[in-house]
Chain A
Amino acid sequence: MVFSSIIFMFVFLPILIGIYYIVPFKLRNLIILLFSLVFYGWGEPVYIILMIYSIVFNYFMGINIEKDKIKRKRTFIFAICVNIFILGFFKYYDFLIENINKIFNISLEGHSLPLPIGLSFYTFQAISYIADVYKGKVSSQKNIISFGVYIAMFPQLVAGPIVQYSDIDYQLKNRKESIDKFGKGSFYFMWGLFKKVLLANRMGVVFEAITALSGISSLTAWVGIIAYTFQIYFDFSGYSDMAIGLGYMFGFDLKENFKYPYISKSVTEFWRRWHISLGSWFREYVYIPLGGNRKGVIKHIRNIFVVWFLTGLWHGASWNFVAWGVYYGILLLIEKYILKSFIEKLPSLVKHIYTILAIMIGWVFFFSPNLSSALNYLKIMFGYGNTAIYDSIGLYYIMSYGLSIILCVLCSTPLIYNIVIRSIELKKGKCAFLVCVIHIMLFILSTAYIVADTYNPFLYFRF
């Protein structure tokens, strides 16, 4: 199930809210767990079994690691391996076979199974739990229902944010729901829905139309990459906002996953603002265990490349994602070791332009099916070879979606949020009332698009 669907908004959510707030507190985690399983199974019912297996397996592993002081290391490694194996089997097996076939020139068959929804996300959460228990940061969760809620909790199940166990341990038993928290959640949910349905989906239309064309001009290629840049941001951050909002509605505090990444002044800053929960996960469970930057330059460079190779691979079983990850690894190293003092002296505007260009070039690697088509697209963007500077298609999309692109630019900055907060703080209650009504109107507008539109994919479903 996805949040931006009628079944979720007008069947699943009202029923859940109704039941959740009627039952006594003791039963609330059970309700969340049951609804989460329904939510998960709605798309691919068979994989509920995998989800339940994941919950039960990691539950017992956590307890074992804590209890058995002698074998704890062995259990820890075993548990990590099983989790990685499941992820590897469903997500990377076919990719591996494909590469083996290429190298040895043979033709083994993959399994071609569909990727279980959210597997990449909840596997990482499971690993976070096992590692946190192993390191003694938290004690193991004795209540399997609470643990099930951590793994399967529907708001962040499908596309994050990736919650680290130590952040939510306490909340699983001792959270407080309240109507103002619920309202805060509503703000997040409606704003996220707007970003997803009215910004991301519409940019997606432009991007898909442009990439379907052949022989495009530089201008059109730029419109295409701009559209994609906004699509992926609003798609993913919209989903995160909805997840955070739903978390609030049921008393959970989830951490912010995006902090206006496109206003960054360096690539390093961008990764502190983009998909924060994934970055912190890799930092916490890969980069720091490997020694981070404290073991000399050579090891630091190695660690950076390991993390960014894995970050790329996590996004998809394909070489273009690896290229995209390594590209960022290289940029971050260059920024840290070579250009640091140089970049700092540049005027702000230049820093912004440099950063957003680097990000957009990154997205070309990200969306292209293979490296040669990525390079080809970049060539067109920068007018290399026989490319027209502009054509009427490019102008047409600017005429049709220029206003929307401006809207996307505005929503990529904290400007609107600041105006809203300032006006609530400074002006009278009227303003607050207006903000609420505008949110409801955006909600109705988003609903209209969902009802009328068939185009509603989530980019991050592939991961």
Chain B
Amino acid sequence: MNKRNINKKLRTEIFMGLLFVITIFLLSIFNIVAKDREFSNRENRVLAESPAITFSSIKDGTFMKKFETYLSDQFAFRDFYMNIRSVSELALGNKESNGVYYGKNKMLFEKTVDFGQYDSKNREAISAFLDKYSDLNKYMMIVPNSAWVMEEELPKYAPINDQEAQIKEWENYLGDKIQFINLCDTMKSHKDEYIYYNTDHHWTTLGAYYAFLEFSGVAGIESNFNNYKTYAVKNDFSGTLESKSGYMVDDDVISVYIPNDEENVIVTDGDNVTASLYDSTKLESSEPYGVFLGGNSGFKEINTMSDSGRNIIIFKDSYANCFIPFMTQYFTNIYVVDPRYYYDDIESIMKEKNITDILFLYNGNTLFEDSSIYQVLQ
């Protein structure tokens, strides 16, 4: 290297040194100046706050851990950095983040799951439960998830479970103890329609309606699409898959289907009694899907205007929340149990409420990994 080159290299290093110091000091100053946020809309979660300093928390190191989480959560322009990371990952060819696939047409898909460790326990419990009520109408629907239904939309070679086989396994296990409504073909045949949200792991109200048509055929109900008017209640729905993965895709639309004939219902959820199946305050919350039945809770009772005399108990996950509004015209009382949040006795409800129908309604991912059904049905 001649002298000129050495000079050039030296100047480069001086410039680099200055640039580096300026960068880290600037970013540090941003962090000092920026105000702490309580909640991140982008990630849909509460952010960590500055931890209190105590001698014991320093001694055992918990203060340091919390402080680092705090710094990361409150990092100035955090959303900007999250976007950089997502874009960089996609540019490098990685189409998966935190259990979410980035599909071919800017759609997000939740990864499918294997059977969890309580799956066989749940099956046994349900089977034993059905044996006790052999004279009632019993139905089961396991909704396949969007990743399986729209498999060809997934990134190439993306691993996925054969949910049809998984659902079939459940169907075969329960045999003729229950009327099993297999939705795989139904959902596949409508896969080009808007039956699953792009940004969220739920199905849309339309998806639920197609399932309801299948259900009505088996349950002896007549339903018609023309009986409903649809209203889009939220046009900028950004769901859990977006917040989990950090990917940004187009917003979703939440629609509700209101029957043409005026109906009155009474929804009782603990001490909370309302006259609506919808909780519009949820639309502006962090969980807009909670607009249906006000979200999940252990037990809800819905009294309708129907004079059918049928009283149905539903064991369900959140997929049922937008399905249940279709049922109100056909069942006099609807008892909704979410085993994940339910800690009371089932037998007493079965006896006191004069139950005529039982429905299990789950999506595959939640059912296969569930750890609560067997505890409630025991």
Contact = CB atoms under 8 A, between A and B. Distances in A.
Interface of A: 5-7, 9-11, 13-14, 17, 42-46, 179-187, 189-190, 202, 392-393, 395-396, 399-404, 407, 424-425, 429, 432-433, 435-437, 439-440, 443-445, 447-453
25 contacts: A6-B75, A44-B61, A45-B59, A45-B61, A180-B10, A180-B14, A180-B17, A182-B17, A183-B15, A184-B13, A186-B19, A392-B157, A392-B159, A396-B159, A399-B93, A400-B94, A425-B9, A432-B8, A435-B12, A439-B16, A439-B20, A443-B23, A448-B88, A451-B82, A452-B78
A453 B85 CA distance: 9
Contacts of A450: 72
A448 B93 contact: no
A432 B11 contact: yes
Interface in B48-70: 58-61, 64, 67-68
B31 interface: yes
Contacts of A10: 24, 27-28, 31, 71
B18 A183 contact: yes
B11 A399 contact: no
A140 B95 CA distance: 57
A189 to B, nearest CB: 8
Contacts of A186: 16-17, 19-21
A202 B93 CA distance: 12
Interface in B23-49: 23-25, 27-28, 31
A182 B246 CA distance: 36
Nearest to B74: A6
B165 interface: no
Max chain A C-beta neighbours (<10 A), residue from B12, B27, B82: B12
Nearest to B5: A425
B128 interface: no
A7 B155 contact: no
B84 A444 contact: yes
A450 B75 CA distance: 11
A277 B17 CA distance: 27
A421 B219 CA distance: 76
B19 A436 contact: yes
B3 interface: no
Contact of B158 (A396, A401, A452): A396
B23 A440 contact: yes
B17 A183 contact: yes
B96 interface: yes
User: Which 6 A-B pairs give the minimum distances between C-beta atoms?
Assistant: A183-B17, A183-B13, A186-B20, A396-B157, A448-B81, A448-B84
Q: Is the interface of B mostly helix, strand, loop or mixed?
A: helix
A444 B158 CA distance: 30
B132 interface: no
Given A186-B17, A404-B93, 4 more contacts: A189-B20, A436-B19, A445-B88, A448-B82
B19 A400 contact: no
Nearest to B58: A45
Given A183-B14, A187-B13, A440 B158 contact: no
Contacts of A396: 155-159
A439 B5 CA distance: 20
B232 interface: no
Interface of B: 1, 5, 8-21, 23-25, 27-28, 31, 58-61, 64, 67-68, 71-72, 75, 78, 80-82, 84-86, 88, 92-96, 155-159, 246
Contact of B11 (A44, A429, A448): A429
B10 to A, nearest CB: 5
A187 B16 CA distance: 7
A399 B12 CA distance: 38
Given A11-B28, A440-B19, A401 B8 contact: no
Contacts of B157: 392-393, 395-396, 399
Contacts of A445: 84, 88
A7 B68 contact: yes
B27 A447 contact: yes
Nearest to A198: B88
A182 to B, nearest CB: 4
Nearest to A449: B85
B93 A401 contact: yes
Contacts of B78: 451-452
B16 A436 contact: yes
Contacts of B19: 186, 436-437, 440
B51 to A, nearest CB: 13
B61 A43 contact: yes
Contacts of B10: 180
B18 A393 contact: no
Contacts of A183: 12-18, 20
Contacts of B18: 179, 183
A275 to B, nearest CB: 27
Contact of B72 (A180, A190, A451): A451
A195 to B, nearest CB: 15
Contacts of B11: 429, 432
Contacts of A407: 92
Nearest to A403: B93
Nearest to A400: B94
A447 B156 contact: no
B20 A6 contact: no
Nearest to A13: B24
B156 A7 contact: no
Nearest to B93: A403
A189 B21 CA distance: 12
Contact of A11 (B5, B61, B71, B82): B71
Nearest to B25: A14
A407 B159 CA distance: 24
